[in-house]
């Protein structure tokens, strides 16, 4: 399906066009007419009016003789299906349904939405909406939206939004702040076309060099990831995902489940794809600003964003705060200036200027002093980005300094932070003139730099992937009630994938001695096996350090007695007898996410550590290299590598378990969640001490 | 010393006054003349000019016949001491030294600064600066600064800044954003008066209802805390502290040291005092905005800031993001609306409006619909604050809605978030007219609400305190080299405060059997004692689970052998023999902060948990109740209370140790750091297994 008609149609019909300024149908025609310099046919359709904004109006789409590339529909929802049918008959290539009152309204609206989806499909109409603002293409000079009064100037950033309101606010904000879009697409209800198809289109769009994306839902996690991975190789993608605090509806049956809520999964998926994620609107907007700055100056290589930062300032306070934030950020650091640079700065700056990083050129600095310092800093190879802070002091020349920044910004990423408002207004204006933007506070710029660098960092770490599994999990399975799998069955299932639970399952006490002999030297652990018991220790179902057969037999009786008392309804199937395992307690888990499918988690175990939520997540399939990276990612990573002379844990053995769990999850869609908890890892091997498998 | 002369002097002399617009001496006279409506004598002093800005100028301060309340000095640094001397002779009450070139310039500047401090002291001149912007009092109509071209309108927030540049930027920003100050004080180098004296003054200042404070250093931690605790009972105090990432110069001799860097100590101290801390300039400014809003509307009780938040919106996207941020914040939550409220909303809103929280009144909402919803939400008792989001859509009435918000803001804290720029400009203007402010993004408001609520939360938790110790630690002790205290001596010192290290110290192997008998049933642990050995396990100096005397004797030999090999220079003083301790591993520590004095830390031990940096801090003295709160504060707090049917640990025993450590630290200023590590805590008691004491 060719989406070009949404952006550069030769002819556009507006159904529901109006001369009433309070109606959407007016704004649509107005924006189409005034939105661009390109010539295209604008064909208003109205039941009542014959001339709209000076253009002849039609009674219906059928009445139009010309070919219609794009129909923009803004009439009451109930009337939309019939009009769409007409569009189909007229062979209209694409339609934007602006009208609301569909799925979002519930009830009959849902039916209406189904109807328009089916009509669009049967007539091969590319359908955007309903319940959206429309599209804007700043290069083709098209404004097929009722959003912006003023059509934005051409730019290199595409903006895709699942919220119309957020889109409208951002267009207005961006216009004022100097952020320039290539295309704007308000996705609405996504009755037919979703963010996926538009992302595919934007991936190839020559005018688009970066993509901003506001998401409330992801239609297809796997497709989204595959596509995003390709796009981010060439164009940075920034996502603001809403609904991060919403809890999934399914009860957290699996313990690891609680460590991998949906939003963490989304974060992990984005990191895998090299997507920049924003945590707030402010951060989302700031990242757009940074992209604008980088793309306009040509000094930002999004595949290699600046990490080594220099700060140039005419005021101590803000630069100290900025230095703090750089140092405290996850991926940035302050460059150590070379001796040559320090000497060069000493030559051109006043004696009491601070020559370190931040470079403080004092409150009376005029543009020439900024220039002297900038020359030196731009020549420093290690420095990848320069934050230039200007505070309004007695003689500060904001405009002159701003013009300078625009010039030097072509050599290296120079980030202007002109602080204040009125006093720096002419400087900000000068930046706008050069297509650049200003940051009000160093914090804003640093946050955006960090987000960008962090995401690319994440991306660089993910290269190889095993081929995606043939068996895509069937999500229908999610609907049935999830239950804990029988221990014996779970053991067999895990075994098939090379995951061995330690020890032997003993059904009757009479077999105990023989099995103990088989297991070799003690001491042993004994654990009750019962489908009804999830947390064995809670019901006295575990005994440790059993030194011999006698102790084991006694333990059997004691466990049976206690469990019967504490969990009278539980059927005891037998006991698991294991050699006591030593090592570091690890938890490896799998949980099926409704959007992204199986997600593998890796973290330290033990109740102390579980309380810390220190866990690494990956969307399956997880390859060997990914598994290793998960081990590096957790906060306690150094402990895996061994501290104070300890040997490192057997990373190969742990990797094997992670990869096996990923494979199992992909090939067994009925498995909802798995916990290998604990896995005891030593320098030679990793022993799975217990496992829980949830199916449903 | 009466600081009133800095804010409402009857006569002000400007030394270094000038007609040259590029000179500070011009701005000072200009601002004094035009800054206010109040009549006061302005007396320019200049060596060269006879009339300045229409005012007769004097050749020297001595030449002035009138009494001079305040002298503002803006001449080259080298000439300042003589002029200050003249001021002294003339009995000038207060002086602001604007000039730079003192301590911050190093070398001779330091000497000059010492000189002016001494001159000021001997003549009883209240001295502000040098190297500062001056003062502004919006109520007295005084602008004795060269900062703001336009003198700000009167407000209720005082702003104290240790950075002039930051002050200038904030004044300009605040003016444009509608934040109004009562007083502005640029502290400069603090040669004489510091933030402490001005805070004392502001505490009593009737026009000041809240205080913003930008700090790079704290002159006296104890004084600062005592004062802040008093002030925050009545007036909220917001601090932005710079230099958070700077590492202290002293090596981290004590292990707990690494868990309690200076910035964490400052955070903890602020929390104890009920101070709001900002992590960035943006957050600092946003908090100022929130205070402006709350103070102007009278709807903010800073002692009981809103925690239960409702969101009202005309657009889905931004409200979802806002809801996320409220839920993810540390102290806020979304109110559950009452059934009555939901019914009332259903009556007045369109059928497809969202009646939950957020309340989404749809894109076509005009002011009356906002009003209908606001009426209902204001009547909800549980709701303490309402974030009202307005996105610019087709028919949105930003100005009308803004006027409404101003009216309803008197009943409850209503926080306007008019998103966009141009499209909502008239709305923002309407808010300004009512002395209110607008937030560009819901994030900004939520961040500020959270900071405020969190700080007050912290404050409420701190009420009782034991009387401060008589022996204030002598900081001079810090200068000498810190060393590890001899084990036996450390043990005796700890014992004096009721802290018993478990087990017996055995000097010679021959005594081992007798001592083992004394200790009772095993198993035992044995640890080498040597002044030269800090981490015993690293040199093979620890043996555990020794079941009897034979095992202990063997262990002695093995330890001695291994230690001699691994640490040949270490003198083995003997072995510590202890019964093996069970329980949860806790670390209790003390480290002397150069500004706040002894800081007590409490957290879980064990290498896994140490990697997580989960620790609670308190500035000594720490009372019983504080100690209990520390235990509640750590992330792993639930583990202390017992999980899965476990008994809680003996909080009384742990409390005793914390309080004892605090006492010891206050009474022994030569002790730099102490680690009780590990302390094994059970449901009956807490055993100190090892301790390290650093003196210096």
Mean pLDDT for all residues in chain B: 88
**Tokens in use for A420?**
């204040």
> Is residue A218 over pLDDT 50?
yes
Q: Rounded distance, CA A62 to CA A65, Å?
A: 8
- B179 touching A, CB under 8 A? no
Pairing status of strand B237-241 against strand B210-215: parallel
pLDDT greater at residue A654 or residue A487: A654
Residue A212 above 70 pLDDT?
A: yes
Alpha carbons B662 and B602: distance in angstroms, whole number = 12
Residues from chain B contacting residue A281 (CB–CB below 8 Å): 318, 321, 441-443
pLDDT for the residue numbered A502:
92
Cα torsion A10, A14, A17, A21: sign = negative
Q: Using CA coordinates, name the residue in chain B closest to A131.
A: B363
C-alpha dist (Å) from residue A540 to B466, B607, B649: 45, 28, 20
Closest CB to B644 among A538, A612, A644:
A538
pLDDT per residue over A317-351, tens digit each? Answer: 899 889 989 988 888 999 999 999 999 999 999 98
Q: Position of tokens 């939405």?
A: A113
Smallest CA-to-CA distance from B116 within B188, B48, B64, B67 is with: B188
Query: What band does A606 get if pLDDT is binned at 50, 70 and 90?
Result: confident
Residue of B nearest to A646 (CA): B538
In whole angstroms, what separates CA A359 from the centre of its chain?
35
Q: What ipTM was estimated for this complex? A: 0.85
Question: Is B614's CB within 8 Å of A609's CB?
Answer: no
Distance between terminal CA atoms of chain A? 38
Q: Cα–Cα distance between A35 and A12 in angstroms, integer? A: 13
| Strand, helix or coil for residue A594 | coil
Spatial contact of B18 and B25, defined as CB atoms under 8 Å apart: yes
The pLDDT score that the predictor gives to residue A202 is 97
Is the separation of the CB atoms in A119 and A88 below 8 Å? yes
Rounded CA separation B191/B128 (Å): 7
| A199/A215 Cα distance (integer angstroms) | 12
Higher pLDDT, A148 or B394: B394
Provide CB contacts within 8 A for A470, sequence distance 6+: none
* Segment among A240-244, B218-222, B341-345, B403-407 with least mean pLDDT: A240-244
Cα-based distances in Å from B668 to A266, B497, B541, B673, B674: 53, 11, 30, 11, 12
Chain A residue closest in CA terms to B614: A612
**A656/A633 Cα distance (integer angstroms):** 17
With pLDDT > 70 as the criterion, what percentage of chain A qualifies?
Answer: 92
- pLDDT mean over A235-246: 81
Query: Residue B455 and residue B689: Cα distance in Å, rounded?
Result: 36
Chain A within 8 Å of B368 (Cβ-Cβ)? no
End-to-end CA distance of chain B: 37
Digit-coded pLDDT (tens) for B275-284: 999 989 999 9
Q: Is A400 on the interface with B (CB under 8 A)?
A: no
For residue A106, the chain B residue with the least C-alpha distance is B352
Q: Do strands B671-681 and B51-52 pair parallel, antiparallel, or not at all (unpaired)? A: unpaired
CA of A226, closest CA in chain B: separation in Å? 26
* Distance in angstroms (rounded) separating the CA atoms of residues A302 and B85: 60
> What pLDDT score was predicted for residue B252?
26
The partner residue sitting opposite B394, judged by closest CB among A24, A101, A327, is A24
> SS3 for B556-613, per residue?
HHHHHHHHHHHCCCCCCCEEEEEECCCCEEEEEEEEEECCCEEEEEEEECCHHHHCCC
Residues B166, A392: C-beta atoms closer than 8 Å: no
Instruction: Please report the residues numbered 213 through 232 in chain B whose beta carbons come closer than 8 angstroms to any beta carbon of chain A.
Output: 214, 216
**Sequence-distant (≥ 6) Cβ neighbours of residue B476 within 8 angstroms:** none
* CA B218 to the chain's CA centroid: 10
Give the integer Cα–Cα distance in Å for B300 and B410.
Answer: 10
Furthest-apart CA atoms within chain A: distance in Å: 100
CA distance A666 to A673: 12
Assigned token pair, A370: 């900024």
d(C-alpha B29, C-alpha B12), whole Å: 10
Q: State the pLDDT at residue A257.
A: 32
Mutate to test the interface with B, among A113, A134, A611 (most CBs of B within 10 A): A611
Task: Indicate yes or no: CB of B242 within 8 angstroms of CB of A320.
Answer: yes
Q: Does A20 touch chain B (CB under 8 A)?
A: no
pLDDT of B472 over the 50 cut: no
Mean model confidence pLDDT for chain A? 88
Kindly tell me if the per-residue pLDDT of B256 is higher than 70.
no
What is the maximum span of chain B, computed from C-alpha positions, in angstroms? 100
> What is the mean predicted confidence (pLDDT) over B78-93?
96
Q: Which range has the worst mean pLDDT, A382-396, B200-214, B278-292, B530-544?
A: B530-544
State whether residue A632 sits within 8 Å of chain B by CB. no
Mutate to test the interface with A, among B167, B169, B216, B610 (most CBs of A within 10 A): B169
Quote the distance between the C-alpha of residue B434 and its chain's center.
31
- Inter-CA distances, B656 with A15, A148, A253, A599, B35, Å: 79, 66, 40, 46, 58
Average pLDDT over residues B249-268: 49
* Per-residue pLDDT at A608: 64
Interface touch B611/A639, C-beta < 8 Å = yes
pLDDT of amino acid B231 = 95
Binary contact (A321, B242; C-beta < 8 A): yes
The predicted model gives A568-582 an average pLDDT of 89
Q: What is the per-residue pLDDT for B148?
A: 60
Residues 33-72 of chain A with CB under 8 A from chain B are none
- By C-alpha distance, the chain A residue nearest B313 is A165
Query: In the 8-state DSSP scheme, what is residue A257?
Result: G
For every residue of B464-497, which 3-state class applies, written as one string? CCCCCCCCCCCHHHHHCCCEECCHHHHHHHHHHC
In Å, how far is B226's CA from the nearest CA of chain A? 26
User: Pairing mode, if any, of strands A210-215 and A237-241?
Assistant: parallel
Q: What angle (nearest 5°) sits at the alpha carbon of residue B221, between those of residues B216 and B227?
A: 105
Cα–Cα distance, A201 to A29 (Å, whole number): 26
Is the Cβ pair A321, B538 closer than 8 Å? no
- How many helical (H) and strand (E) elements, i.e. helices and strands, does chain B have? 21, 30
Chain B residues within an 8 Å CB radius of A423: 149, 168, 172
CA distance A250 to A227: 29
pLDDT at B260: 42
What angle do helix axes A367-379 and A398-408 make, rounded to 10 degrees? 20
Is there a contact between A420 and B172 if contact means CB atoms under 8 Å apart?
yes
pLDDT, residue A69, reads: 96
Give the burial class of B503: count Cβ atoms within 10 A of its Cβ; 0-12 exposed, 13-18 middle, 19 or more buried. Answer: buried
Which one-letter DSSP state was computed for residue A187? Answer: -
Closest residue by Cα to residue B145 from B265, B57, B25: B25
Confidence (pLDDT) at A418: 97
pLDDT at A469: 42
Measured between CB atoms, does A432 come within 8 Å of chain B?
Answer: no
Query: Residue B525: which pLDDT band, with cuts at 50, 70 and 90?
Result: very high
Tens of pLDDT, residues A364-406 = 899 999 999 999 999 999 999 999 999 998 788 999 999 999 9
Q: Cβ of B318 and A443 within 8 Å?
A: no
Tell me, what's the pLDDT at B304?
83
- Window 87-116 of B: residues touching A by CB (8 A cutoff) are 100-101, 104-106, 109
User: Which has more pLDDT, A476 or B35?
Assistant: B35
What is the per-residue pLDDT across B13-47, written as a single tens digit (0 to 9) for each?
A: 999 999 998 899 999 999 999 876 668 999 999 99
Is the Cβ pair B325, A608 closer than 8 Å?
Answer: no
H-helix segments, A305-424 = 316-328, 339-348, 367-379, 398-408
With CB atoms and an 8 Å threshold, state whether B318 touches A163.
yes
Helix (H) or strand (E) holding A125: none
Query: Which residue from A minimizes the CA distance to B145?
Result: A394
pLDDT at position A245 is: 60
* CB half-sphere exposure, A272, CA atoms < 13 A: 30
CA distance B279 to B372: 38
Answer for the pair A131, A110: CB distance below 8 angstroms, yes or no.
no
Chain B residues with CB inside 8 Å of A243's CB? 320, 324
Out of A22, A320, A394, whose CB is closest to B395? A22
- Is the CB of residue A423 less than 8 Å away from at least one CB of chain B? yes
Q: In this predicted structure, which of A605-609, B256-260, B415-419, B510-514 has the lowest mean pLDDT? A: B256-260
pLDDT at B245: 60
Using the Cα atoms of residue A122, residue A125, residue A127 and residue A130 in order, give the sign of their dihedral.
negative
**In the numeric block, which tokens belong to residue A268?**
């992990």
Picking from B139-143, B240-244, B593-597, B674-678, which range would have the lowest pLDDT averaged per residue? B240-244
- A contacts of B313 (beta carbons < 8 Å): 165
pLDDT tens digits for range A403-423: 999 999 988 999 999 999 888
Q: Would you call B433 helix, strand, or coil by DSSP?
A: helix
Residue B518 CB neighbours (<10 A): 9
Q: Do B168 and A440 touch (CB under 8 A)?
A: no
d(CA B210, CA B552): 65
* Strands, E assignment, B242-280: 276-278
Top-confidence residue, B578 or B487: B578
Compute the average pLDDT of residues B348-358.
89
Residue A318: closest C-alpha in chain B: B166
| Interchain pair B321, A240: CB under 8 A | yes
The rounded Cα B351 to chain-centroid distance in angstroms is: 48
Residues facing residue A135 across a β-bridge:
A144, A185
Q: Give pLDDT tens digits for B540-552.
A: 899 988 988 889 9
Beta-carbon pairs below 8 A across chains A and B: 253
pTM of the model: 0.86
Task: Please report the beta strands in B481-553, taking only residues with DSSP state E, as ranges in sequence order.
Answer: 483-484, 504-506, 524-529, 542-546
User: Would you state the pLDDT for residue B376?
Assistant: 96
Residue A51 contacts residue A57 (beta carbons within 8 Å): yes
Token pair listed for A597 = 């499918």
Beta pairing class for A55-56 and A51-52: antiparallel
Specify whether the backbone of A129 is left (phi greater than 0), alpha (psi in -120 to 50) or beta: left
What is the CB-side half-sphere exposure of residue B383 using CA atoms within 13 A? 28
Cβ atoms of B50 and B56 closer than 8 Å? yes
Which residues of chain B have a CB within 8 Å of the CB of A172?
392, 419-424
Q: A496 falls in which pLDDT band (50, 70, 90)?
A: very high
Backbone angles phi, psi at B294, to 5 degrees: -70, -40
Q: Is residue B69 within 8 Å of B92, Cβ to Cβ?
A: yes
Could B242 and A423 be called an inter-chain contact, meaning their C-beta atoms sit closer than 8 Å? no
């Amino acid at each position: 399906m060719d989406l070009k008609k949404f952006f550069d149609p030769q002819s556009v019909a507006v159904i529901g066009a109006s001369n009433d300024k309070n109606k959407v149908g007016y704004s649509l025609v107005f924006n189409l007419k005034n939105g661009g310099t390109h010539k295209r046919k604008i064909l208003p359709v109205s039941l009542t009016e014959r001339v709209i904004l000076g253009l002849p109006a039609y009674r219906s789409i059928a009445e139009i003789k010309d070919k219609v590339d794009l129909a923009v529909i803004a009439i009451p929802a109930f009337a939309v299906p019939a009009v769409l049918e007409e569009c189909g008959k007229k062979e209209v290539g694409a339609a934007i349904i602006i009208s609301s009152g569909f799925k979002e309204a519930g009830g009959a609206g849902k039916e209406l939405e189904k109807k328009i989806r089916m009509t669009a499909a049967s007539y091969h109409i590319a359908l955007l909406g309903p319940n959206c603002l429309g599209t804007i293409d700043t290069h083709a000079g098209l404004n097929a939206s009722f959003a912006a009064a003023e059509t934005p100037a051409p730019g290199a950033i595409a903006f895709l939004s699942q919220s119309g309101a957020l889109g409208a606010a951002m267009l207005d904000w961006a216009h004022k702040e100097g952020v320039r879009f290539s295309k704007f697409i308000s996705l609405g209800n996504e009755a037919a076309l979703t963010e996926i198809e538009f992302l595919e289109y934007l991936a190839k769009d020559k005018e688009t060099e970066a993509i901003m994306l506001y998401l409330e839902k992801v239609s297809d996690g796997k497709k989204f990831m595959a596509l995003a991975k390709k796009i981010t190789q060439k164009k940075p993608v920034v996502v603001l995902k809403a609904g991060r605090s919403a809890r999934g509806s399914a009860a957290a049956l699996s313990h690891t489940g609680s460590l991998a809520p949906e939003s963490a999964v989304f974060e992990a998926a984005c990191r895998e794809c090299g997507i920049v994620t924003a945590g707030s609107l402010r951060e989302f907007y700031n990242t757009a600003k940074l992209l604008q700055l980088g793309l306009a100056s040509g000094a930002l290589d999004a595949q290699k964003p600046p990490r080594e930062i220099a700060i140039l300032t005419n005021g101590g306070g803000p630069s100290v705060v900025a230095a703090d934030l750089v140092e405290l950020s996850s991926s940035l650091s302050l460059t150590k200036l070379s001796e040559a640079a320090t000497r060069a700065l000493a030559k051109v700056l006043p004696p009491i200027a601070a020559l370190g990083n931040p470079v403080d050129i004092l409150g009376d600095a005029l543009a020439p002093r900024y220039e002297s310092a900038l020359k030196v800093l731009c020549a420093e190879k290690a420095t990848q980005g320069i934050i230039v802070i200007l505070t309004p002091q007695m003689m500060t020349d904001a405009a002159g300094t701003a013009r300078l920044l625009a010039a030097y910004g072509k050599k290296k990423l120079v980030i202007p932070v002109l602080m204040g408002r009125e006093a720096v207004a002419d400087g900000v204006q000068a930046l706008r003139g050069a297509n650049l933007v200003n940051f009000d506070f160093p914090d804003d710029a640093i946050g955006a730099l960090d987000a960008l660098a962090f995401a690319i960092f994440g991306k660089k770490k993910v290269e190889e992937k095993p081929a995606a599994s043939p068996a895509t999990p069937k999500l229908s399975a999610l609907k049935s009630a999830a239950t804990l799998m029988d221990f014996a069955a779970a053991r067999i299932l895990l075994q098939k994938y090379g995951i061995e639970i330690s020890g032997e399952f003993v059904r009757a006490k009479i077999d105990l001695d023989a099995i103990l002999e088989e297991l070799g030297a003690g001491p042993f652990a004994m654990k009750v096996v019962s489908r009804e018991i999830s947390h064995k220790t809670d019901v006295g179902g575990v005994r440790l350090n059993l030194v011999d057969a006698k102790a084991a037999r006694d333990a059997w009786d004691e466990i049976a007695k206690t469990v019967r008392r504490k969990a009278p309804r539980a059927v005891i199937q037998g006991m698991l007898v294991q050699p006591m395992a030593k090592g570091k307690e690890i938890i490896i888990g799998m949980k099926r996410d409704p959007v992204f499918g199986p997600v593998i988690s890796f973290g330290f175990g033990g109740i102390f550590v579980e309380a810390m939520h220190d866990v690494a997540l990956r969307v399956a399939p997880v390859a060997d290299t990914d598994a290793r990276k998960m081990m590096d990612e957790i906060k306690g990573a150094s402990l895996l590598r061994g501290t104070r002379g300890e040997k490192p844990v057997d990373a190969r053995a742990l990797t094997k378990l992670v990869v096996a769990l990923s494979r199992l999850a992909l090939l067994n869609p009925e498995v909802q969640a798995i916990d290998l908890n604990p896995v005891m890892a030593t320098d030679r091997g990793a022993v799975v001490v217990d496992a829980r498998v949830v199916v449903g």
